[in-house]
Structure formats: C-alpha cells, structure tokens
Chain A
Amino acid sequence: MPVDTSYAGREYPPNAVYEVSRVKLAEFADAVGANHHAHTDEAAARALGHADVIAPPTFAVVVAQRAESQLFTDEAAGIDFSRVVHADERFTHHRPIMAGDRLVTVLHVDSIVERAGLAMITTRCEIGTEAGERVATVVSTLAVRPEEAA
C-alpha cells in the first residue's frame, strides 16, 4: 500500500504527558556518551543556571517518537516501517529539557512528497509543558522505499 499523501498538513491533539525523570536522563546520557555533569549532578546543573539536571541535546527524540507513533502505527497512512530510512533530524531547544518536566507533544505532518520513487515524510513535534511553555521543536524526515525495491 502506498503512503497516503493526504496526511500532509495533519495536526494531532496533544498526546499523553511524558514525565522526565533523572534516572532516564542519566541512562540516555550514558548511552550516547554524554559525560557532562549537568546531565547527572544537580549541583553542576544549578551552577549553570538550570533548575535541575538537563537532558542531552538529542534526548527530545525519546519524547517526540511517542507522538510520531500516532502516524506510524496508523495503518491507513500506509507507512511500512521495514522500508523506512531516517533521512534527517533537527532539534531546536527553546529551553533545555530537565528532570521533573511534564511534557506534552503536538505532532504535525508538515509534508509528504514523492521524490524519485521515495515518499519523503516530514514530521514536526512541538514539545511543551502542560502549562503551555514551549520547550523543543523536533523536525524529522523519513524516506519510505517503494515496495518493489524492498
């Protein structure tokens, strides 16, 4: 089944709250080799002006992918994950994600374009606090190969 290009422009309602824990931040930082003390030591984070330990720059992907799954698990969208290649990713931080944050994400499907047989899907996750403060914007583009080439 081809990718349904009519999903372009769609905006989803805010998803369930993601509560950021110190343990998860430490686990993620360790996995990517982010050794800065601001990820694990509250005093070090406070010395830099942060209210608590902060996330590494790419941690927002953990939050964003929960929102993105609303699109990718929607069978009607026709996105077969076994044929997906990650093309590019961009994080814009309005302020650092930190322990204790309660984050909600609004998923936007910015575009779906066919290019050289590939369907290029660009999603944008607007991550903010429950109270409405903007925290991060995550833009991701996936390329979906046609079925014949799989």
Chain B
Amino acid sequence: MSPAIADLSVGDEVLRAQIVVDRARLVRYAGASGDFNPIHWNERVATAVGLPGVIAHGMWTMGAAAGPVADWAGDPGAVVDYQVRFTRPVPVPDPGSATVEVVGAVGALDEDAHTARIDLTVTVEGARVLGKAQAVVRLG
C-alpha cells in the first residue's frame, strides 16, 4: 500500500534501515553494474591512490539507500526522482563489514503533483556519507 499524502507531515520520520556491506557485496555490485574500478575490490590499488582501503562504490551506497524508500513507497516505480551528493567514502574492511544506516523523513509535500520528498540521512558509524540525499515519491 502506498502512503497517503493526508497522513503525512513535513518532518515525519517514515523509514529507518541498516544495510550491511562486505567485500563480497562489492564484487557482486561490480559485476551487476559494470563498474570494475579496482578501488572497490583491490586493497593494494585503493591504498596506492591514498584511500584508507577498499571503499564501496558510491553508486552502491546510493542504490542501497533507495531500497527502504521503495519499500516504504510500496512500489519502486513510485520513486520518480532521486539525487545524492557523495560526501565521504565508505571503507569496507576485510575481514568484516560496514553498516550503512538510512533514516528517511518527509522533507516536503506537493499536493498538486501528489508527491512527497523524502530526505535521507545516510551514515556510517555516525558520519554522513551522502549529502543532499533526496527521493521524490509519487503517492497513491
């Protein structure tokens, strides 16, 4: 069921999720997306270019953060606009994993277009990794 605009107010928290990412996940995303930049799977290359180690694809993080939005919307096709800034890399240790936390709140409501702008706060260990992360969702 898609949310109804009458039930929403600006500032409402509408979603909260935690997503775990490990190296195997990054290799899977590399294959699925076609982005084979070695900084996302090769520690030697990543540290050689000055990174703390292998980092997640920014596009993986953006894609992962969209999942809870699509679930809340009830239809992934209702996400009509989605934008982010990549503000901080997400190091993914080996062995181990990183946990991305996604919190979404209503940033704006458009009665005419029948949409809600969901502002996402996307953090790893308390630090924001995406900026201006906004998804516009068409409501039922």
Nearest-CB residue, chain A, relative to B26: A31
* Choice from A30, A54, A65 contacting B32 with Cβ under 8 Å: A30
B71 within 8 A of A: yes
29 CB contacts below 8 A, A to B, read A27-B31, A31-B28, A31-B31, A31-B32, A31-B33, A32-B32, A32-B63, A32-B64, A32-B66, A32-B67, A33-B64, A48-B75, A56-B63, A56-B66, A56-B70, A57-B66, A57-B79, A58-B63, A58-B66, A62-B33, A82-B49, A86-B58, A87-B85, A88-B85, A90-B82, A90-B83, A90-B84, A91-B83, A93-B77
Shortest CB-to-CB span from A5 to chain B, Å, is: 22
- Interface size bucket, B side? 35 or more
* Contact A58 B82, beta carbon cutoff 8 Å: yes
* Contact A58 B76, beta carbon cutoff 8 Å: no
- Interface size bucket, A side? 35 or more
Distance A8 CA – B12 CA, assembled complex (angstroms)? 41
Distance A65 CA – B58 CA, assembled complex (angstroms)? 14
Q: Of residues 30 to 89 in A, which have CB atoms within 8 Å of B's CB atoms?
A: 30-36, 38-39, 48, 50, 54-58, 61-62, 65, 81-82, 85-89
With contact pairs A30-B28, A62-B34 given, residues A57 and B76 touching in the complex (Cβ less than 8 Å): yes
B-side contacts of A56, CB under 8 Å: 63, 66-67, 70, 76
A-side contacts of B60, CB under 8 Å: 31-32
Distance A52 CA – B55 CA, assembled complex (angstroms)? 34
Distance A65 CA – B33 CA, assembled complex (angstroms)? 9
With contact pairs A34-B66, A54-B76 given, residues A61 and B28 touching in the complex (Cβ less than 8 Å): no
* Choice from B58, B67, B83, B132 contacting A33 with Cβ under 8 Å: B67
With contact pairs A31-B33, A61-B59, A91-B82 given, residues A36 and B25 touching in the complex (Cβ less than 8 Å): no
* Contact A93 B71, beta carbon cutoff 8 Å: no
With contact pairs A56-B66, A58-B62, A61-B59 given, residues A88 and B86 touching in the complex (Cβ less than 8 Å): yes
4 shortest interchain CB distances as A-B pairs: A32-B63, A90-B83, A96-B77, A31-B32
* Contact A32 B70, beta carbon cutoff 8 Å: no
* Contact B77 A48, beta carbon cutoff 8 Å: yes
* Choice from B28, B81, B132 contacting A93 with Cβ under 8 Å: B81
Distance A54 CA – B24 CA, assembled complex (angstroms)? 25
* Contact A91 B81, beta carbon cutoff 8 Å: yes
Shortest CB-to-CB span from A85 to chain B, Å, is: 8
B-side contacts of A91, CB under 8 Å: 81-83
Distance A55 CA – B19 CA, assembled complex (angstroms)? 20
Distance A45 CA – B107 CA, assembled complex (angstroms)? 28
B-side contacts of A95, CB under 8 Å: 77
Nearest-CB residue, chain B, relative to A58: B63
